[in-house]
Amino acid sequence: RALYLSLWEEDIQYGRRYIPSCLLSASALHQSGEFSTEDKLEYQFHPVSAGSLHFKVRTANDAHVALTTGPAESDPMYEIFIGGWGNAKTAIRRNRQKPDKALVDTPNILDAGEYRGFWIRWSGGSIAIGREGESAPFASWDDPEPFGIGYFGICTGWGATGSWLVENGAPITTADNLEYSFRPVPTGRLEVEVRSPSNAHVALTSAPNETEPMYEILLGGWENSATVIRYNREKPDKVRAETPGLLTSSEFKHFTFEWRHGLIQVKKAGGAVLVEWKDPNPFGVSYYGIRTAWGSKGHWRIKAVDPRSAPVASAPTPFVPSPVSQPGWNVPASVAPSGGSATWVDAAGGEVPPNSVPGGFDNEQVYVARARHEGALLPGKLVPSHGVCYVPWGGAEHGKPEYQVLVGCEPAWVPSVAGQVPDGALPSGETEDGEPLFVGRAKHEGTLSVGKVQASHAVCYIPYGGQEIGYQEYEVLVAK
């Protein structure tokens, strides 16, 4: 299989003229890797093959989700059938062909009378489906030929209509007609390291070639003096920033490219925004292209990552290829968990260390963490996409960009009430007065939030929506 890769040439004003196409083998397309670009203004395209979708659906059966490169049914594509076969099974299908790639029993997984929450995650060809509030998928499959995913479609059928809440958006109604309604996957992220004297260009597209619509980010253009965001290869640029000396041929420079509901951002190492622009009509980004020109060659290290679970890099780090699984996935590992001793690891800015302990779910996987505040050491929840650990204190929720994450243990969550703490509970902090605090969690408004158990107050406090909320019924973490 081969993919067409269009060549273009620019004049001194960054205008373009078309040059005949060439071919790029599909075997060159990876989720992450190291690449080199020559001095010839030719984009190399690779799939954005990591991301996630979170939604709730109310239907009697057959909630269908399609994952595609563009906004229509076309190959390649994945289909996930939740509650098919009379609300008895869930399947993963590729390119509308049988046999199904995965088929599992899921009796009564859907309900016409209430919303049921689910997540779908993809990373380097691994497709996984799970229930809201659970970190382990109930169905998964590994595709040996992953492709870029920029759009999702939803539909219902086989006697059922549906009401959907996708990514906390407005309700969407689907008829009993098995016709997909397509929308862009709203978020995505690339971690990019590049070594080049100037003119490192990145394209974001919905196809493995130059097409429209299309974003271009020109890093270190104009002899390494400026950076711009361009739309559809047209001038004037949407935004321009003076960035003298941004790139260098002597060392890799790290950048984060992120798109979220139409907001295109490029951040430097440490998280400072370099350039950003809000597209009023966003499209689904399923491929990225890289190139160098104007006397420059480039060496690149790029990882496509799920923005919900990926750490925000605070400094350039040695390149490590992305794992097939993202945090929270229950994917078989080459080495079985050892159930080692619990350890608190320093982290910051949304970073999720290896072997972090999942604690709950709030539109994404959250992790058991703790942070200091007003003289206390407080257990709370790490929300990776927010870049902070939230802790409850003094009636309010406080976001802490520096924190510690619990790693290296197999947790058991033991039900408890009224400030009681079961045997084996892990001491995880203390109040400003020295009272021990323990990790607890409670359900609140469809989330499962991690907080602190304070025995003297007879509750578990969770941070949520800016508030400190107390629950008399909760679960306590016991480290195995």
Contact 302, 219 (CB under 8 A): no
Residue type, 324: V
Q: Is 276 helix (H, G, I), strand (E, B) or coil?
A: strand
Output the pLDDT for position 309: 55
Q: What is the pLDDT of residues 349-378, one digit of tens each?
A: 888 888 888 898 877 788 999 999 988 999
| pTM (whole model) above 0.85 | no
Quote the CA–CA distance of 192 and 256 in Å, as a whole number. 6
For residues 109 and 143, state if they share a domain.
yes
pLDDT over threshold 80, residue 199: yes
Strand partners, 298: 37
For residues 21 and 61, state if they share a domain.
no
Residue 402 domain flag: yes
Residue 313 domain flag: no
Give the chain's length: 480
Contact 12, 18 (CB under 8 A): no
- Both structure tokens of 254: 């790290």
Q: What is the pLDDT of residues 8-52, one digit of tens each?
A: 333 322 333 222 222 222 223 334 568 888 877 788 888 887 888
The more confident residue out of 13 and 439 is 439
Element (H, E) at 163: strand 162-166
The candidate with the shortest Cα–Cα distance to 56, out of 139, 114, 108, is 114
For residues 44 and 81, state if they share a domain.
no
Contact 363, 393 (CB under 8 A): no
Output the pLDDT for position 43: 84
Contact 292, 249 (CB under 8 A): no
Residue 328 domain flag: no
**Mean pLDDT calculated for residue range 182-200:** 93
Residue 327 domain flag: no
Q: What is the 3-state secondary structure (H, E, C) of 404-444?
A: EEEECCCEEEEEEECCCCCCCECEEEECCCCCEEEEEEEEE
**Mean pLDDT calculated for residue range 423-435:** 87
Quote the CA–CA distance of 342 and 354 in Å, as a whole number. 13
The burial of 87, by beta-carbon neighbours within 10 Å (0-12 exposed, 13-18 middle, 19 or more buried), is given as buried
pLDDT over threshold 80, residue 221: yes
Pick the last residue of a domain from 138, 168, 184: 184
For residues 178 and 194, state if they share a domain.
no
Q: CATH number of the domain that 69 lies in?
A: 2.60.120.560
Quote the CA–CA distance of 125 and 31 in Å, as a whole number. 8
Contact 342, 438 (CB under 8 A): no
For residues 262 and 215, state if they share a domain.
yes
Contact 343, 407 (CB under 8 A): yes
Output the pLDDT for position 308: 66
Q: What is the pLDDT of residues 272-302, one digit of tens each?
A: 999 999 999 999 999 999 999 999 999 999 9
Percent of the chain with pLDDT over 90: 55
Contact 460, 406 (CB under 8 A): no
Q: What is the mean pLDDT of the chain?
A: 83
According to DSSP, the β-strands at 162-166 and 273-278 are unpaired
Output the pLDDT for position 160: 95
The more confident residue out of 3 and 151 is 151
* Confidence band, pLDDT 50/70/90 cuts, at residue 306: confident
Pick the last residue of a domain from 246, 275, 305: 305
Strand partners, 371: 378
Residue 30 domain flag: yes
Q: How far is CA 191 from CA 27, 227, 283, 365, in A?
A: 21, 17, 20, 20
Q: How many structural domains comprise the chain? A: 3
For residues 262 and 228, state if they share a domain.
yes
Distance separating the N- and C-terminal Cα atoms of the chain: 49
pLDDT over threshold 80, residue 413: yes
Residue 369 domain flag: yes
Domain range for 60 is 50-149+151-184
- Residue 26, Ramachandran bin (φ over 0: left; ψ between -120 and 50: alpha; else beta): alpha
Quote the CA–CA distance of 199 and 298 in Å, as a whole number. 9
* Confidence band, pLDDT 50/70/90 cuts, at residue 202: very high
Output the pLDDT for position 341: 64
Residue appearing with tokens 């799939």:
47
pLDDT over threshold 50, residue 316: no
Dihedral sign for Cα atoms in the order 209, 191, 333, 415 = negative
For residues 294 and 176, state if they share a domain.
no
The candidate with the shortest Cα–Cα distance to 255, out of 315, 319, 326, is 315
For residues 166 and 73, state if they share a domain.
yes
For residues 160 and 270, state if they share a domain.
no
Residue 335 domain flag: no
For residues 360 and 415, state if they share a domain.
yes
Q: What is the pLDDT of residues 112-168, one digit of tens each?
A: 999 999 999 998 788 999 998 777 889 999 998 999 999 999 999 999 999 999 987
For residues 133 and 218, state if they share a domain.
no
Omega prior to 213 cis, within 30 of 0? yes
Q: CATH number of the domain that 210 lies in?
A: 2.60.120.200
**Mean pLDDT calculated for residue range 200-215:** 94
Residue 435 domain flag: yes
The candidate with the shortest Cα–Cα distance to 463, out of 368, 347, 385, is 368
**What is the Cα gyration radius of the chain?**
24
Dihedral sign for Cα atoms in the order 185, 189, 194, 199 = positive
For residues 58 and 13, state if they share a domain.
no
The burial of 119, by beta-carbon neighbours within 10 Å (0-12 exposed, 13-18 middle, 19 or more buried), is given as buried
Q: Is 36 helix (H, G, I), strand (E, B) or coil?
A: strand
Output the pLDDT for position 42: 80
